[in-house]
Amino acid sequence: MTYIAKPKFHHPGLPKNELGYTHRDYEGKISTLCAGCGHDSITASIIEACFELSIAPHRVAKISGIGCSSKTPDYFLGNSHGFNSVHGRMPSVLTGANLANRDLIYLGVSGDGDSASIGFGQFAHAIRRGVNMVYIVENNGVYGLTKGQFSATADRGSKSKRGLVNNDSSIDLVAIALQLGATFVARSFSGDKHQLVPLIKAAVDHQGAAFIDVISPCVAFNNHVGSTKSFDYVREHNEAVNRLDVITGRAPIKVDYEPGKVEVVEQHDGSKLALRKLNHDYDPHDRLAAMSFLQQHAAKGLVVTGLLFVDSDPEDLHQHLNTVAAPLNTLTEPELCPGSSVLEKINAGLR
Amino acid sequence: MPSASPISSVNDFVVRFANVNGSGSASANELFARAILRMGVPVSPRNIFPSNIQGLPTWYEVRVTEAGYLGARGGIDLMVAMNPQTFDKDVAAIEPGGYLLYDSTKPIPMARFRDDITVIGVPLTAICNKTYSDPRQRQLFKNIIYIGALSALLDMDVPAIEKLLGEQYKGKEKLLQPNIHALHLGRDWALENLRCPIGLRVKPANGVGNRIFVEGNAAAALGAVYGGATVCAWYPITPSSSLAEAFTRYCSRLRIDPDGNKHKFAIVQAEDELASIGLVIGAAWNGARAFTATSGPGISLMQEFVGLAYFAEIPAVIFDVQRAGPSTGMPTRTQQGDLLSCAYASHGDTKHVLLFPEDPTETFEFAADAFDLADRLQTPVFVLMDLDIGMNHRLCRPFAWDDTRKYDRGKVMHEVELDAGRDFGRYLDVDGDGIPFRTYPGTHPSKGSFFTRGTSRDRYARYTEEGGAYADNMQRLLRKFDTAKDLVPRPLQANAEKATKFGVIYYGSTSPAMDEAIHLLQANGRTLDRMRVRAFPFHSSVTSFLADHDFVFVVEQNRDAQLRTLIVNECGVDPVRLVPVLHYDGTPITARFIAQTIGEHLAALKVTPLRKVVS
């Protein structure tokens, strides 16, 4: 529960984006998570990404499940509608919302327990349907609110704070997302805002199922020696394959990479992704190669981060269903109800 | 000669076809039922089928009833025994004096027949084998051949059958002639070799009128189209699958945008029932009309989400085509078994709106109404059908639609009102009816957004775990449920000519059997007032009905008297005064059963008051 009201005043000279909004317009309530929680850094990155993209804050629908990560939508985009649904079921609620109004931006926020355990099925099916969304998993390998049990993304052999060893294989949601056909797959680290913010921006611009797994250490229950999701461990084992910048008509180009080493990927909506390759063996357009690269590095104990796969011309669920351009929730009686004369004909056919 | 005299009846008898699942008999049997309808004689057919694709026994029963009794009657006057697996049981099921039609190609020992029935052998396989060489044709035309034989035996109108075949094979004329040929093969053989007609006959009448012949699942789907549903999420489960499939079919005809052939609907076959209801809740939260169709096991899986929708106040329409359960077997049999699991679905204190349509036409009406009610009340609404209504063709009133009708989207605050400075509190009871205003996501840049959660919030949707705010909200939800009592379809009451201290309450698919049972009881000098409950929460007239009678029979198709439990719970009535009449073997309830059970109770009540027995 928030006991502290957020002060309303702010610096008069705060920079404004193209729509005239400041950073503050993308903020939400004060976080109730633990001080130093990785999730709060992700919240900050979401705010930064939406500010930089000049998104009208109310055009985003934030949907989450249950858990520490799922609480965070209350802490950003305070002028957006949010939905704290039931544990593991964010993907179905988001899919339904998306069907009702294809014009909003859908931001699904979930955790490793929410998406890899109780909601593993819903995660998989939303991805394979190609729902146009940004699906962020704030992955800390542990159940925080229930005080430190392992989640399904905890690596085999990693130790809990109480010293227990996890003997079960871990689920790598990135590998699964690649296998199930996500058209944008990335991994990042909550402690690396410079990597994460452009990834979120690119995912928002991507008109298909975009998945970002963000390793986000739990300072209370999973930041000790023996954990593979601690700040120190991830910093030491982070293998970033590329650095990204997002170029849209709305945001200024900020590529400071050396010329010649930057690959520009044009997305379907006209936005461009400037990719600086850090690993020359890595091709983010080759799904199979990405899967193989990921597995090989995982075997060496390395956490591969960056934009791992992107399909620059994705399809989404609405295309598959061939729905009208107007949001379904705006259709009214004349467009929906066939009327009495049609019904008379139907009656005649039933005699 | 049979020891019982052969039954003689015109336009009032029951024929049952015993077939093998997957043998193509369904369309031939339906043709038989429709042909009688075309002769102006009402019929009431029922599928009795296994959980199986091919090979297991399946039955199709046609009650021919000029009097218009559309409930199951019980008893079989003519058995068309086409399944060797069930032959002995089928023969045993025939009423004394009844008739047996069987395939006499292979001789059957006399011991397997009965001497109190009329046995009619038609060498169907022999006729087929002589005429057709293709095994599939032999199989399919055998069905049409027995319809041909029946047309002679029952004195049916042949042009009516030919016309129906013509309609069925319109555009596929190549198939029409062979079917008509097969029909006459059977008919001619019967006319030449058998005494036609038998004691059971169909005589042209004027009993059908402008009524339509339709399945409840199709009617529900059409009601959803007319009610403005745009999102459907479902998971296949018998007996509800054909509802979502019919919605798909109707939408592809009625909801295509002429400009570009785009769809004004979205249908998702979800991965399970949890996802189905999640999709519905997400879509409805976002302002679309959305529904799912399922059966009992699906309702069990949806419980957590239904609770969230109740507390978060999200409209959702759930069609529950009830069946017996769980697992396999009985799930292809009918039951009214989900009342309690729907009425109080989920954890915590929850109550839900239930609608109980009696037949396909009322299902169409309630389906469309359900979307208005869900939006108005901002809560899940269950349309409780059952297999008997959903998967059988029923003769019923034609569908009607008032073109001046507007969808009631309930209390939604839009950009204009927010800009005008109207106070928006998502859970604020501004009108005293317990129903707050909502906004759709994306409405306004700085006003009217809120965070949707379960119970931990105040009137302005701000997070709180304060007990006072929780209790305040729970009280408002009760007020809202009270408001619902006057919005849902009212009970229908029919009083006996003379005042009586006995009443009967029933609902849903029991309706036609109950109407008939009242006549049977009257014939024995027993009169009752009756009330058909059409929705939960109960309208105040239910309580009045209970007060007006010493004893009220509650007739339903489940073991645990679920409606009676609901009445006891919600109306505060002495349970002793509610006498359960329960039928739950998976077959549809019959008038004979109701009349007999109520008759026995009334006889017992005359001797010793029930109140004394119990206390």
Of A104-113, A216-225, B480-489, which range is least confident?
A216-225
User: Do B463 and A343 make contact, defined as CB atoms within 8 angstroms?
Assistant: no
B274 contacts in chain A (CB < 8 Å): 89, 92, 122
Q: Is residue B9 predicted with pLDDT exceeding 80?
A: yes
A337 contacts in chain B (CB < 8 Å): 225-226, 228, 401
Which residue shows structure tokens 């003379």?
Answer: B498
User: Do A82 and B228 make contact, defined as CB atoms within 8 angstroms?
Assistant: no
Listed in sequence order, the residues at least 6 apart from B69 whose beta carbon sits closer than 8 Å to its beta carbon are B44, B63, B512, B515, B516, B591
On whether both B431 and B324 belong to a single domain, the answer is no
Q: Is residue B608 predicted with pLDDT exceeding 50?
A: no
Domain end position, chosen among B396, B426, B441: B396
Is B300 inside any structural domain? yes
Residue of A nearest to B395 (CA): A351
Chain A nearest CA to B323, separation (Å): 26
CA B474 to chain centroid, in Å, comes to 34
Q: Is B113 on the interface with A (CB under 8 A)?
A: no
Confidence of residue B414 (pLDDT cuts 50, 70, 90): very high
b/e burial code for range A94-120 (CB count within 10 A of at least 16 → b): bbbbbbbbbebbbbbbbbbbbbbbbbb
b/e burial code for range B16-46 (CB count within 10 A of at least 16 → b): bbbbbbebbbbebbbbbbbbbbbbbbbbbbb
Chain B nearest CA to A281, separation (Å): 37
Question: What CATH code is carried by the domain that includes residue B576?
Answer: 3.40.50.920
Q: Is B258 on the interface with A (CB under 8 A)?
A: no
Chain B nearest CA to A129, separation (Å): 10
Q: Which residue has the higher pLDDT, A54 or A268?
A: A54
Q: Across chain B, what does the average pLDDT equal?
A: 95
Confidence of residue A130 (pLDDT cuts 50, 70, 90): very high
On whether both B176 and B225 belong to a single domain, the answer is no
Residue B22's pLDDT is 84
Please give the average per-residue pLDDT across B3-24, as a whole number: 93
B402 contacts in chain A (CB < 8 Å): 340
Listed in sequence order, the residues at least 6 apart from A73 whose beta carbon sits closer than 8 Å to its beta carbon are A28, A62, A63, A64, A82, A84, A107, A109, B451
What is the share, in percent, of chain B residues with pLDDT greater than 90? 89
Closest by CA to A109, choosing from A210, A240, A5, is: A210
Report the alpha-carbon distance of residue B371 to residue B284 in Å, rounded: 10
Is B91 inside any structural domain? yes
Confidence of residue B325 (pLDDT cuts 50, 70, 90): confident
User: Do A321 and B267 make contact, defined as CB atoms within 8 angstroms?
Assistant: yes
Residue B2's pLDDT is 53
Is B406 inside any structural domain? no
On whether both B155 and B23 belong to a single domain, the answer is yes
Interval B455-490: pLDDT, tens? 889 999 999 999 999 999 999 999 999 999 999 999
Is B208 inside any structural domain? no
User: Do B450 and A79 make contact, defined as CB atoms within 8 angstroms?
Assistant: no
Is B401 inside any structural domain? no
Confidence of residue B607 (pLDDT cuts 50, 70, 90): low
Tokens of A61: 């629908």
A125: nearest CB among B262, B271, B283: B271
Q: Is B308 on the interface with A (CB under 8 A)?
A: yes
Chain B nearest CA to A20, separation (Å): 12
Is B209 inside any structural domain? no
Q: Kindly report the backbone phi and psi dihedral angles of residue A60, in degrees, each rounded to the nearest multiple of 5, phi listed first.
A: -110, 140
Report the alpha-carbon distance of residue B67 to residue B41 in Å, rounded: 9
What is the share, in percent, of chain A residues with pLDDT greater than 70? 95
Q: Is B274 on the interface with A (CB under 8 A)?
A: yes
State the count of interchain CB pairs (< 8 A) between A and B.
221
User: Do A339 and B403 make contact, defined as CB atoms within 8 angstroms?
Assistant: yes
Confidence of residue A261 (pLDDT cuts 50, 70, 90): low
C-alpha distance from residue B83 to each of B56, B58, B122 (Å): 9, 9, 14
Residue ranges of domains in chain A, CATH in brackets: 23-326 (3.40.50.970)
On whether both B178 and B230 belong to a single domain, the answer is no
Q: Is residue B241 predicted with pLDDT exceeding 60?
A: yes
User: Do A328 and B222 make contact, defined as CB atoms within 8 angstroms?
Assistant: no
Q: Is residue A248 predicted with pLDDT exceeding 50?
A: yes
Is B125 inside any structural domain? yes
Q: Is B347 on the interface with A (CB under 8 A)?
A: no
Q: Is B404 on the interface with A (CB under 8 A)?
A: no
- Residue to substitute from B214, B451, B453, B470, interface A, most A β-carbons within 10 A: B451
Residue B604's pLDDT is 87
On whether both B120 and B167 belong to a single domain, the answer is yes
Residue B146's pLDDT is 97
Q: Is B398 on the interface with A (CB under 8 A)?
A: yes
User: Do A83 and B290 make contact, defined as CB atoms within 8 angstroms?
Assistant: no
Domain that holds residue B563: 492-614
Residue of B nearest to A76 (CA): B451
Q: Is B282 on the interface with A (CB under 8 A)?
A: yes
Report the alpha-carbon distance of residue B541 to residue A119 in Å, rounded: 45
On whether both B521 and B575 belong to a single domain, the answer is yes
Report the alpha-carbon distance of residue B319 to residue B220 in Å, rounded: 8
User: Do B281 and A350 make contact, defined as CB atoms within 8 angstroms?
Assistant: no
Chain A nearest CA to B130, separation (Å): 36
Report the alpha-carbon distance of residue B534 to residue B505 in Å, rounded: 10
On whether both B543 and B427 belong to a single domain, the answer is no
The tally of domains found in chain B comes to 4
CA B479 to chain centroid, in Å, comes to 31
Q: Is B498 on the interface with A (CB under 8 A)?
A: no
Of A330-334, B33-37, B138-142, which range is least confident?
B138-142
End-to-end CA distance of chain A: 62
User: Do A86 and B282 make contact, defined as CB atoms within 8 angstroms?
Assistant: no
Is B405 inside any structural domain? no
Domain end position, chosen among B437, B462, B487: B487
Return residues 419-478 of B near A (CB < 8 Å).
439-446, 449-454, 463-465
Question: What CATH code is carried by the domain that includes residue B103?
Answer: 3.40.920.10
Domain end position, chosen among B370, B396, B422: B396
On whether both B235 and B317 belong to a single domain, the answer is yes
Which residue shows structure tokens 């249950």?
Answer: A66
- B280 contacts A93 by C-beta, under 8 angstroms: no
Query: Kind and range of the H or E element at B597?
Result: helix B591-607
On whether both B229 and B184 belong to a single domain, the answer is no
Interval B342-385: pLDDT, tens? 999 999 999 999 999 999 999 999 999 999 999 999 999 999 99
On whether both B263 and B390 belong to a single domain, the answer is yes
Chain A nearest CA to B552, separation (Å): 38
B308 contacts in chain A (CB < 8 Å): 85-86
Report the alpha-carbon distance of residue B289 to residue B571 in Å, rounded: 32
Chain A nearest CA to B352, separation (Å): 19
On whether both B34 and B183 belong to a single domain, the answer is yes
Whether omega before B580 lies within 30 degrees of 0, making that bond cis, reads no
Question: What CATH code is carried by the domain that includes residue B385?
Answer: 3.40.50.970
User: Do A122 and B226 make contact, defined as CB atoms within 8 angstroms?
Assistant: no
Closest by CA to A65, choosing from A1, A131, A111, is: A111
B176 C-beta neighbours (distance < 10 Å), count: 17
Which residue shows structure tokens 């109004």?
Answer: A101
Please give the average per-residue pLDDT across B588-604, as a whole number: 95
On whether both B37 and B150 belong to a single domain, the answer is yes
Tokens of B277: 């209801």
Report the alpha-carbon distance of residue B383 to residue B291 in Å, rounded: 10
Q: What is the 3-state secondary structure (H, E, C) of A174-186?
A: HHHHHHCCCCEEE
Listed in sequence order, the residues at least 6 apart from B572 whose beta carbon sits closer than 8 Å to its beta carbon are none
User: Do A81 and B450 make contact, defined as CB atoms within 8 angstroms?
Assistant: yes
Residue B365's pLDDT is 98
C-alpha angle B291-A66-A179 in degrees, rounded to nearest 5: 75
Report the alpha-carbon distance of residue B357 to residue A125 in Å, rounded: 34
Tokens of B441: 């996501």
A329: nearest CB among B286, B452, B465: B286
Q: Is residue B329 predicted with pLDDT exceeding 80?
A: no
Tokens of B542: 């239910």
